[in-house]
């Protein structure tokens, strides 16, 4: 639950940064989120 709240807090901060960011920064943002998703999906089998 705390993890979800932390993710939500990060997400709101990131979306603020994303709106202010330039096009190149948005590409970096998208790549970092993609890497994060891949990382979490990689960890899921070990957590279950």
What is the number of structural domains in the chain? 1
Please report whether residue 2 resides in a domain: no
pLDDT digits (tens, 9 = 90+) for 13-43: 777 776 776 777 778 888 888 999 999 888 8
Q: 5 lies in a domain?
A: no
Instruction: Answer yes or no: is 26 within a domain.
Output: yes
42 is a domain residue: yes
Q: Is residue 25 part of a domain?
A: yes
* Residue span of the structural domain in which 32 resides: 21-48
CA 20 to chain centre: 17
pLDDT of 10: 72
* Closest to 18 in 3D by CA, of 3, 28, 9: 28
pLDDT for res 46? 80
Confirm whether 30 is domain-assigned: yes
Compute the distance between CA of residue 46 and CA of residue 4 in angstroms, rounded to an integer. 19
């Amino acid at each position: 639950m705390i993890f979800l709240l932390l993710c939500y807090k990060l997400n709101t901060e990131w979306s603020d940064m994303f709106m202010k960011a330039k096009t190149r920064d948005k590409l970096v943002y998208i790549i970092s989120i993609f890497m994060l998703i891949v990382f979490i999906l990689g960890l899921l089998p070990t957590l279950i």
